[in-house]
Amino acid sequence: MKKIGEVTTSYKLDQGKLKNAYVEALKDPAFKNYVEHLSVSENVLIKYTSRLEDAFEEYQHCRHCKNLSYCKNKEKGFLLTPEMQAKTLSFSYIACPYLQKKLKDTQYQENIYAFEIPKMLLEASLKDVYKDDVARKEIIKYIVSFIHQYREDKKQKGLYLHGSFGSGKTYLVAALFNELAHQNVRSALIYYPEFLRSLKESFGQEEYKEKFEKIKKVPLLLLDDIGAENMTPWSRDEVLAPILQYRMEEGLPTFFTSNFTLSELEGHLSSSSTGVEKVKARRIIERIKELTVEMQLVSKNRRS
Ligand code: ADP
Ligand code: MG
């Protein structure tokens, strides 16, 4: 164990080193100016010289930065910032103006729950929708009117969009949801085949009910690519039927995209083809008809 005298000497040595480092750092007029603005006593500054130098370096990066992709700081988009708090100097990471703007611009996305939907579709916007082909004119008209009326009428019908692969069906509905997300309307874009698989996996767990209830009750719902799922009596009668029933009763707008027309979907849903199955499939189709306006989108494949 060190004697008290030895501890005091080594403390003094450390203090000396810190002071030297501080004096050295102050030779940079920009750093000097930076610390002067903090209005902190010299003793405190001496204690934190090294940390202050880190913060100053980040501050300098920010001064010359043009956008987030330029960021040279340790935590992208953040700036190590010294601040006096209860008489001590503390350091925290604060979002830079570019990051703050980005967070603000993408905040609307928090209103959208996307399940296995390509990320870029979360940025789909109506102003970018291809307007060149006649096939989508009617759909766009519907979507625009849906958005305008949503504030007054929360119980409008959704769309059943069917048509060729890659024609932009999911994109159009995503653009609609994004637009309303800016007005704080919550929605869910659900890639239906994968959702079923994941629901099945969580069967018997608490998560199951949570997932199920979430999409049953969300104000706007898209079941994407219905018909591409592995049809089972469970998925039809225990998942799809109650979701649609609830949404019909509550008047919650529900959208579908599919490669199938409604009558083809009926065939898919009754694939085991006994008399009872046919009735059950028929009932689902009736609910979808109740919930939506059916429209077709045939267009060239936009996937690259
Ligand atoms: P579908 O759902 O009909 O299979 P998608 O909506 O996934 O087709 O669209 C196919 C591709 O084309 C996607 O990569 C999508 O981002 C792009 N796309 C579709 N419509 C547009 C559009 N109006 N503007 C820009 N990109 C689009
Ligand atoms: Mg799609």
Nearest atom in ligand 1 to the alpha carbon of residue 121 is 16
Tell me the residue type at 165: F
* Residue nearest (by alpha carbon) to ligand 1 atom 23: 129
Paired with 257 in beta bridges are: 161
pLDDT of 191-206, one tens digit each?
A: 999 999 999 999 888 8
**Distance between CA atoms of residues 271 and 283, nearest Å:** 14
pLDDT of 63-111, one tens digit each?
A: 999 999 999 999 999 999 999 887 788 999 999 999 999 888 888 889 9
pLDDT of 131-187, one tens digit each?
A: 766 778 899 999 999 999 999 999 999 999 999 989 899 999 999 999 999 999 999
Between 245 and 301, the higher pLDDT residue: 245
pLDDT at 303: 65
Is the pLDDT confidence value at 28 over 90?
yes
Say if strands 88-95 and 78-85 run parallel, antiparallel, or are unpaired.
Answer: antiparallel
**Distance between CA atoms of residues 192 and 287, nearest Å:** 17
pLDDT of 234-244, one tens digit each?
A: 999 999 999 99
CA distances, 302 to each of 130, 134, 151 (Å): 10, 15, 32
**Distance of CA 165 from the midpoint of ligand 1 (Å):** 9
**Distance of CA 168 from the midpoint of ligand 1 (Å):** 4
Tell me the residue type at 194: E
What's the mean pLDDT in 270-275? 69
CATH superfamily ID and name for 106-297: P-loop containing nucleotide triphosphate hydrolases (3.40.50.300)
DSSP H or E stretch at residue 87: none
Ion ligand 2: residue ranges with CB closer than 5 A? 170
Domain coordinates of the chain in residue numbers? 4-101, 106-297
Is the pLDDT confidence value at 11 over 90?
no
> Are 168 and 176 contacting, i.e. CB atoms less than 8 angstroms apart?
no
pTM of the model: 0.77
Dump the DSSP string for 115-140.
Answer: ES--GGGGG--GGGS---SHHHHHHH
